[in-house]
Amino acid sequence: MTKLLDGKLLAKEIRNEISSVITNKILKENKRIPHLGIILTGNNSSSIAYVNNKIRECKNIGIKYSLIHLPINTLEKKLLEEIKKMNKNPYIDGFIVQLPLEKHINQDKIILSINPKKDVDGFHPENFGKMALNMKTFFPATALGILTLLEKYKIQISGKYTVIIGRSRIVGRPVSILMSRKSYPGNSTVTLTHSKTPNIEYYTKQADIIVVAVGIPKFLKGRMIKKGAIVIDVGIHNNNEKKILGDVDFCSVYGKASYLTPVPGGIGPMTRIMLIKNTLTAALNNREK
């Protein structure tokens, strides 16, 4: 029997906790409501959908947001100026620059220009380095969402063998760091596989936990996992029939895995709520008032 890991339900619980901190702490102490900045460039449909979902989450929970939507041909210089404004604006507690960026923009330069104290994505090298060294910092929202969901369902990761498919800075790499660190939750033995790994099945068949963030619909099949494996699907793809697919072939994995995240309703809502949680943390950390 496969149990579904309900990210939607857990995100709702966390949303209530955050709302209660806002009502019982921030507003009671006459402090300002947390404020998230979002910079979006271009018209990539997935990025627009992701940003709309983040905005919906801000509205649901009652935190403020400011969206700067720049056209596709925006120069790097203009984007850097907008980041500088967000860095300086005392009313913005934290902000993100939605990725990916257009080819003519140097992504590393952009991420380096974000004030690490406002980097609620946890992508700045200062924060990423702190994460790797197990120091307190913002953890990237998807990785944090995965760990929080596993913790909620009391799924042990310590001593377990985890295989991650995909090494992006947004998901695969931070998940590999957090799951292998000497901390709780952590202490997992991690293999980070990617597009140049030959015979990925060799690894996935041995894994107790598999995190799939490869960006290919239905990539992980039931025959690639061992019975009872825990499968986390980070993919999200709109196919032609308006059905949302993940990176996991749900039909063949369901029944063989012990736990599986659905798409939608698994990691997506967890990612969004963790971004809001990081924004709340930034608001509580950085402000006098």
Interacting residue ranges for ligand GUN, rule: CB under 6 A: 50, 96-99, 121, 141-142, 170
Active site residue 98: yes
Report the nearest approach of ligand GUN to the CB of residue 116 (Å): 15
DSSP 116: G
Q: Which residue among the candidates 54, 118, 256, 277 is catalytic per the annotation?
A: 54
Are the C-beta atoms of 96 and 275 separated by less than 8 Å?
Answer: yes
From the candidates 6, 93, 98, 233, give the one annotated as an active-site residue: 98
Please say which residue, 110 or 260, places its beta carbon nearer to ligand GUN.
110
Cβ nearer to ligand GUN, comparing 50 with 139: 50
Residue nearest ligand GUN, CB atom distance: 99
Cβ–Cβ < 8 Å for 213, 165: yes
* Identity of the residue, 74 or 98, whose beta carbon is nearer to ligand GUN in the bound complex: 98
Question: Phi then psi for 244, rounded to 5 degrees?
Answer: -90, 125
* Rounded-to-integer distance, Cα 65 and Cα 34, Å: 8
Indicate if 156 belongs to the active site.
Answer: no
The sign of the CA dihedral 29, 93, 36, 6 is negative
Collapse the DSSP code of 232 into the 3-class scheme (helix H, G, I; strand E, B; otherwise coil) and give the result.
strand
Between 80 and 99, CB nearer to ligand GUN: 99
Cβ pair 276, 58 in contact under 8 A: yes
Cβ 47 to ligand GUN, closest distance in Å? 6
72: exposed, middle or buried (C-beta count within 10 Å: 0-12, 13-18, 19+)?
exposed
Specify the residue, 142 or 204, whose C-beta has the smaller distance to ligand GUN. 142
CB neighbourhood size of 80 (10 A): 15
Q: Is 117 a catalytic residue?
A: no
- The encoded tokens of residue 14 equal 């966390």
Residue placing its CB nearer to ligand GUN in the complex, 222 or 268: 268
Give yes or no for a contact between 9 and 55, defined as CB atoms under 8 angstroms apart.
no
In the chain the first and final C-alpha atoms are separated, in Å, by: 51
Euclidean distance between CA atoms 216 and 245, whole angstroms: 9
Report the nearest approach of ligand GUN to the CB of residue 168 (Å).
9
For 154: left if phi > 0, alpha if psi spans -120 to 50, otherwise beta; the answer is: left
C-alpha to C-alpha distance for 123 and 206, rounded to whole angstroms: 31
- Active-site entry in 6, 93, 119, 121: 121
State the catalytic residues. 54, 98, 121
